[in-house]
């Protein structure tokens, strides 16, 4: 049976730009069937909504989440008490909350023993509501390196190659390799390079040989350079960028996924006033690197670098479903509202490599967010989920405030 929904008279952000006049969008089953003036649809008798005064745009894309993490003050401590069934249900619940928050596609950048893969597959097959999910499986890191507690520890060129092949065998969509230390692992420094240039090159090359995109947690300068020189597709966090990093990334077209929400939510809850204890070493490192991070992303943006929205949802107090908060943080850090919208729709899909998504156009997936007002003029219209009117995934209405 053919199911149609007509969304009338909307201001449209198509994934790249605001269209210059209001148009209507016809959804048929899971796809956008037609985008045209209202008069084209005269006599339409099916389900329809009048979006006058509202903006229709592609669903948001979050390029960095952890569906298996609980987003409490100490997600790792939670994880230590969870079994396989709890991880699976947590990942499913988190995916559904993410979709309700207006996010129709995510990259999971580090799971737990592939339990998120079952959730991904069930959602991507349409058995459960949820965003489109691409997942990396286990993060690949060095002995004692960032992520070693639950990642795939691999040292040396040969072993890194094997670790990549293991993720591919398990069914990963992308490969995540740790270039530097980070905040969430005790005893490592964000500033320090972890994998050396040869190990990094080995992992990235092997992933690309089998058509998998690559993402690298990369905070310190040397690690960022190792990852970029290896041909990495995205730098996650990107804290200590130098002019050399920026120049190389512009030349290679490397994306940055800033994840402002990760640092913001830790620092914003550092007093642990709600009783949920964020480990002290995490807070200490965020204080140390927070301002540098903001300046680096500002410099990268000003230079014209490619940015895709990502939150690191699941890390302390960084809640699944509140992903849109990231747009507020990006805007507060000097990114124009219209660029925030691009980075959170078309750019995210471009980085994921998800065909026929991330645009409002004929033949694209009907993954749609409708918000009050004009988010290109007021970022709160998209950043605050109270202003979301409709969330539609593959033609199915998920949230409806009409
Ligand atoms: Zn992460």
Gap from CA of 289 to ligand 1 centroid (Å) = 16
**pLDDT-derived band of residue 352, with 50, 70 and 90 as boundaries?**
very high
Angle between helices 197-209 and 221-229 (to 10 degrees): 40
pLDDT at 102 over 70: yes
Gap from CA of 128 to ligand 1 centroid (Å) = 24
pLDDT at 135 over 80: yes
Gap from CA of 108 to ligand 1 centroid (Å) = 8
- What is the CATH class of 4-58+360-400? mainly beta
pLDDT at 227 over 70: yes
At 348, give phi and psi (nearest 5°): -60, -45
The predicted pLDDT at position 89 comes to 97
Task: Give pLDDT tens digits for 36-95.
Answer: 999 999 999 999 999 999 999 999 999 999 999 999 999 999 999 999 999 999 999 999
Gap from CA of 316 to ligand 1 centroid (Å) = 11
Gap from CA of 67 to ligand 1 centroid (Å) = 10
Task: Give pLDDT tens digits for 295-333.
Answer: 999 999 999 999 999 999 999 999 999 999 999 999 999
Gap from CA of 179 to ligand 1 centroid (Å) = 13
Count of beta carbons in the 10 Å neighbourhood of residue 2 = 7
- Bridge-based pairing state of the strands 140-141 and 4-12: unpaired
pLDDT at 141 over 90: yes
The predicted pLDDT at position 274 comes to 67
CB under 5 Å of ion ligand 1: residues: 312
Gap from CA of 13 to ligand 1 centroid (Å) = 29
Give me the chain's average pLDDT, please: 96
pTM confidence score: 0.98
- What is the rounded radius of gyration, in angstroms, for the C-alpha atoms of the chain? 21
pLDDT at 275 over 80: no
Choices 3.20.20.100, 3.40.640.10, 3.40.109.10, 3.20.20.140: CATH for 60-323: 3.20.20.140
Domain boundaries, the chain: 4-58+360-400, 60-323
d(CA 48, CA 38): 12
**pLDDT-derived band of residue 1, with 50, 70 and 90 as boundaries?**
confident
Region 117-124 average pLDDT: 98
Matching CATH topology for 4-58+360-400 and 60-323? no
**pLDDT-derived band of residue 272, with 50, 70 and 90 as boundaries?**
confident
Region 218-245 average pLDDT: 98
Region 19-41 average pLDDT: 97
> What 3-state class would DSSP assign to 42?
coil
Closest CA to 377 of 322, 336, 335: 336
Contact 224, 179 (CB under 8 A): yes
CA 323 to chain centre: 8
């Amino acid at each position: 049976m053919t199911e149609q929904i007509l969304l009338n008279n909307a201001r449209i952000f198509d994934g790249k730009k605001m269209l210059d006049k209001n148009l209507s969008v016809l959804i048929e089953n899971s796809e956008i069937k037609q985008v045209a003036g209202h008069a084209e649809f005269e006599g339409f008798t099916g389900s329809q909504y009048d979006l006058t005064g509202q903006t229709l745009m592609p669903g948001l894309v979050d390029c960095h989440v952890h569906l298996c993490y609980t987003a409490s003050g100490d997600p790792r401590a939670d994880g230590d008490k969870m079994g396989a069934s709890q991880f699976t249900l947590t990942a499913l619940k988190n995916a559904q909350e993410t979709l309700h928050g207006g996010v129709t596609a995510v990259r999971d950048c580090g799971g737990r023993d592939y339990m998120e893969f079952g959730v991904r597959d069930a959602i991507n097959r349409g058995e459960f509501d949820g965003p489109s999910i691409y997942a990396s499986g286990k993060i690949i890191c060095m002995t004692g390196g960032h992520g070693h507690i639950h990642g795939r520890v691999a040292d040396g060129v040969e072993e890194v190659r094997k670790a990549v092949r293991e993720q591919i065998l398990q069914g990963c969509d992308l490969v995540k390799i740790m270039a530097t230390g980070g905040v969430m692992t005790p005893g490592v420094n964000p500033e320090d390079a972890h994998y050396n240039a040869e190990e990094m090159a080995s992992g990235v090359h092997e992933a690309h040989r089998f058509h998998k995109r690559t993402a690298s947690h990369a905070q310190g300068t040397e690690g960022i350079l190792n990852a970029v020189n290896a041909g990495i597709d995205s730098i996650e966090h990107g804290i200590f960028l130098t002019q050399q990093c920026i120049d190389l990334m512009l030349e290679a077209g490397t994306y940055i996924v800033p994840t402002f929400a990760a640092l913001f939510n830790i620092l914003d809850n550092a007093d642990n006033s709600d009783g949920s204890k964020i480990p002290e070493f995490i807070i200490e490192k965020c204080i140390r690197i927070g301002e540098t991070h903001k300046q680096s992303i500002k410099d990268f943006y000003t230079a014209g670098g490619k940015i895709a929205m990502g939150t690191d949802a699941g890390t302390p107090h960084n809640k699944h479903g509140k992903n849109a908060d990231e747009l507020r943080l990006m805007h507060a850090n000097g990114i124009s509202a219209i660029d925030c919208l691009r980075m959170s729709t078309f750019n995210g899909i471009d980085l994921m490599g998800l065909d026929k998504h991330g645009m409002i156009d004929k033949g694209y997936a009907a993954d749609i967010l409708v918000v009050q007002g004009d988010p290109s003029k007021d970022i709160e219209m998209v950043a605050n989920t109270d202003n979301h009117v409709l969330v539609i995934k593959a033609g199915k209405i998920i949230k409806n405030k009409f």
